[in-house]
Amino acid sequence: MRVGVQFFKSGICVAFLMLLTTNINAQHEIRSLSTAEVESWMKTRIETHKLEREYRANAEKYDSVVEAYFKARDEYLVKNGWDVQEFKDIESAIYDTITGIDEQESIDEEKKELQSEVDTVNKNEYLTAEQKKEIVDGMYKVFEIRQEMVNATKHNWPAVKPYREKIRVLNDWIAGNISDPPTIE
């Protein structure tokens, strides 16, 4: 029983966290992306992070380095042909899609163990039939909710998947974990 209930609780936790941390829900249509937009966003994000580093290095020159940076970033975006909101929307769509791809991989792995989990719950002699049904139904419902959130991103997989690893490198570089940004041809 512990395994089934633990799975059920962790699955609910994951689904709840995804609802809180992503923009994916039934009312939100994720912007469609092209590979050109993803690539262009990545190149621009590298440049805006270089700009951010410059502002941080000279923070003493500004009353608010954060405000100064975002003003400069927005000016940079416009100067380079971007609409600021479009840049943010593309970024959100990229990260929502990566979350969807990662979550699909987790779902696929967890589904391999689902029947064993269900069997463990159903064999538990301390649970009533009603409790067993509630737990098992909940386990399947968690998968259903997670899959719906994943499905909302699938239209962007062809545009994002080829850049998935480079985006991870980009994130590591932005976080300061590595010294060089990814190379974008």
Beta bridge partners of 28: 25
Burial class (CB in 10 A: 0-12, 13-18, 19+), 129: exposed
CA distance 56 to 169: 21
Mean per-residue pLDDT, 146-163: 97
Q: Where are the alpha helices (DSSP H) in 80-128?
A: 84-123
Q: CB neighbours (10 Å) of residue 137?
A: 11
CA distance 181 to 162: 17
182 pLDDT above the threshold of 80: yes
Beta bridge partners of 25: 28
At 1 the pLDDT is 39
19 pLDDT above the threshold of 60: no
In the block, tokens 């689904």 appear at: 15
Nearest-10 Cα torsion for 41, 42, 44, 47: 160
Look at residues 16, 31, 15 and name the one whose alpha carbon lies nearest to residue 96: 31
Q: pLDDT tens digits for 42-78?
A: 999 999 999 999 999 999 999 999 999 999 999 999 9
CA distance 141 to 94: 26
Record the pTM. Answer: 0.80
